[in-house]
Structure 1
Amino acid sequence: MDRKNELAFIASNTNTFLQASGKTLEKRLEEIALTDQEENEIVKDRTIKTIRDKGLSLFGTVGDVISTFLNWNDDVNDDLSEAKKMVLLEQYFNKSDSHEKAISMLKDFLTNPQGNTLFNKILRILDDSPPDEELMQHLSSVLKVIIDSGMFEELFDQHKYALSQIERLTPQALSIIADYKQWPAIRLGHSISFGPKVTSDWFSEFTNEYCAKKGIRDQDKYKRVQHSVIELQRQGLMEALKGQDGLTHCELTHVGTDLLPYIS
């Protein structure tokens, strides 16, 4: 398997990759023989505090154990990070009509100080989550929008603000924003409002109607959708307004609308 295919496998089969890598960790640990004194110290402490207090030189062999764990984790983390970045850029190129043009624009983006800062911000968002196809699709769209817009210096603050908002959201919440045209009108029973804005709970009704419209029946997925709807409202990205038709219409706020060009 060449490196590209290996990284693609890691990105889409993370659990399998970690289980396989865990076997290499076991093999490395088996090569280290602990003395009775070292084993007793580990059993007695049972916490990472020993490592912090005594450092990696702890009892010689135990230091080797610690180094083995840390080095293995660094290797695995590097592979996961590289795999996610490869998928991100591959999706970016797939969204472009001309790969030659996309390569040229990406080069200009990365060699621009503001562009490079924005790119690394996107990578940090990517690195803070396990490989997630939904998130990588959204971030590749973000990358393309920022690169296509050009004017990295003039739009730097705008892009940075949008990325800060995106960083706070789950992939599911981003998908709900991108799908705003499919949001259903809902009928509430008793509700409290301030002007047209509904201030009482409308999350359950919206989630019921939205999941029914999207054909979502799995209870775990239903709960994730509801959690994401609550998340969007609490962060000031989504609100519910009473309409003249007697129905309640959920809409993006001004801040939520600002994110649309990046992820839709």
Structure 2
Amino acid sequence: MGKNSFITNQTDLYFEVQNQGLEQRLQKVKLPENESKEIVVTKTIRTITDKVLGLLPIGEIITTILNWNDEIDQEMNEAKKTLLLEQYFNLTDKHEDTINKLKNMLTNPQGNVLFNKIIRILEDYPPDQELIHHLSTALRHIVLKENFQSLFEQHKFALSQIERLTPQALSILADYNNYPVFELQNSITFGPKVTSDWNSHFVQTYCTKKNITDKDIRNRVSHSITELSTQGFIEAYKTEENWVVCEVTSIGRDILPYLNN
């Protein structure tokens, strides 16, 4: 397993290893004995006392921690961006054409802004395979559409909506073709639209259809459905047969092309 894969696939273990590196660096941040005695007497330099590490200069500790954090941040962002582009290239067999179109995007003023918007969304999350998949698909959609100037506002709006949602909510929205119809007793409607609570009934039917039995995963699905419905991406409607169907709203449909190949 390469370093980038290790960072993105085993993030907790990566941080555990890096924590040991930080501990080792802090162990080295000690004042020479003669300086320690002088500081104790004069107190002209700010220090802290640690039971294990002894007398330490605060400024050097701060610098050590910040330098370590910058290195980790750079490594993680590099790994996430590498995986994003790897998945982008894996979405097509025509690599030469894919490279040329991506180059056109990066060298276009509007296209460059859109690319960096995707990178900023990526950097705001810990390594997440679902999010990287969705962003690579969005990148491919934007690249293939080209016309970066005329479609700039449309693309920017779609990316802003994607940024609002958690990765799992994006996955469930993208899976709209598998939304099941379900029963709902004693519902309140406004026309055909269901205005009373329907989320739990949908989640139960959806998880059964997807063979999701793990309680924690079901809870995450429930949270994502609530997220999608409260933010206006999905709504529920009664059919003529008195079943209930969940449908994607116009805002949700605006971003579906960015989530599906």
Same fold (TM over 0.5): yes
The residue aligned with 2:48 is 39
Correspondence 1:167-178 to 2 at 5 A: 167-178=163-174
- TM-score normalized by structure 1? 0.89
* Alignment length (residue pairs): 245
The whole-number CA distance in structure 1 between the counterparts of 2:215 and 2:58 is 46
| Percent identity between the two aligned chains | 51
The residue aligned with 2:112 is 116
Letter in 2 for 1:252: V
The residue aligned with 1:89 is 85
Letter in 2 for 1:76: I
RMSD in angstroms over aligned alpha carbons? 1.7
The residue aligned with 2:160 is 164
1:8: Cα distance to partner?
2.1
2:149 is aligned with 1:153: yes
Letter in 1 for 2:110: Q
The residue aligned with 1:239 is 235
- TM-score normalized by structure 2? 0.90
1:186: Cα distance to partner?
1.0
**Which consecutive unaligned segments of at least 5 residues does structure 2 have?**
none
- The Cα offsets for residues 163-217 of structure 1, whole Å up to 9 and x where unpaired, read as 0000000111111111101000010011111111000100000000000100111
The whole-number CA distance in structure 1 between the counterparts of 2:147 and 2:140 is 13
The whole-number CA distance in structure 2 between the counterparts of 1:106 and 1:12 is 26
The residue aligned with 1:215 is 211
Flag as ranges the 4+ runs of structure 1 deviating above 4 A: 34-37
Larger radius of gyration: 2
SS of the residue corresponding to residue 249 of structure 1 reads strand
Q: Is the 8 A contact 2:238 2:244 kept in 1?
A: yes
The whole-number CA distance in structure 1 between the counterparts of 2:126 and 2:56 is 34
**Which consecutive unaligned segments of at least 5 residues does structure 1 have?**
44-58
The whole-number CA distance in structure 2 between the counterparts of 1:163 and 1:230 is 21
From 49, 69, 74, the counterpart of 2:70? 74
The whole-number CA distance in structure 2 between the counterparts of 1:173 and 1:211 is 14
Letter in 2 for 1:97: D
